[in-house]
Amino acid sequence: MLTKEELERYNRQIVLPEFGEGAQEKLKLSSALIVGLGGLGAISSLYLVASGIGRIGLIDNDIVSISNLQRQILYREDEVGMKKTELAKETLGKLNSNVEILAYDCFLREDNAIDIIKDYDIIIDATDNFKTRYLINDVCVGLGKPFVYGSIQSYSGQVSVFNLKENSCTYRDLFPNSEKLSCKENTNKGVMGVLPSITASIQANEAIKIITNTGEVLNNKLLTFSIQTNEFLTLNLKPTEKAREDSIRGFNNLR
């Protein structure tokens, strides 16, 4: 049940057609883990906490640098050099005291991924490297968790939802060859400041839709867009047995 304060706080969502109190209650009872508190995580965490999700986990082991401030608007100048997890937990707690916020001051690794991910309903990929994305994917497939993928580069973004159902695409359907990709990590770290905000907002919205069972989710679809040309394109993805088998194999190797 929603309290009187919650009914007022989330009124602009509750009055939406096809949303209502029922969807808001689902949010209140749900949990999400955000892996990475950089450009994507700094935004998706803000919107998920503001939306009224019941519990959110924040995992990162980085500190704020001056170059982060161009796009990671969760942080401030006087916080440079401080831990992102501690700052994010404090700021998000001030935004919405109804939300339980857990901070993990570490990177997601093979030796902790299962123990951390198992306690959440949905996983938000806010990372910037292939290795961690494969790890997230394999654990989510093994544990039956959906995860919302997001990626940014220069002026372009991508968003998709993986492992929503047993027959849904996995990250390995989009990028099958993990060894080859890991050796060719993108070295262009340039990014327009507003791009993470757009990408992460779409990620947060996909998570909300999954939790509340509203709208059309990017299941078996990849949304790509350019903020230079304002072109948005949705591509269909096809799930394969091999990608799921490789994901399960990757999960079993962690156990």
Whole-angstrom Cα Rg for the chain: 18
CA 83 to chain centre: 20
In this structure, CATH architecture of domain 19-176+186-252: 3-Layer(aba) Sandwich (3.40)
Give me the residues paired with residue 101 across strands.
56
Collapsing DSSP to helix, strand or coil, 10 comes out as: coil
Q: pLDDT per residue over 19-57, tens digit each?
A: 999 999 999 999 999 999 999 999 999 999 999 999 999
State pTM to two decimals: 0.95
Give 204-241 pLDDT, tens digit per residue: 999 999 999 999 999 999 999 999 999 999 999 999 99
Where does the pLDDT of residue 189 fall: very low under 50, low under 70, confident under 90, or very high at 90 and above?
A: confident
Please say if the pLDDT value at position 180 is more than 70: no
Q: What ranges do the domains of the chain cover?
A: 19-176+186-252
Kindly state the DSSP code that residue 121 receives in the 8-state scheme. S
As to burial, measured by CB atoms within 10 angstroms (0-12 exposed, 13-18 middle, 19+ buried), residue 30 is buried
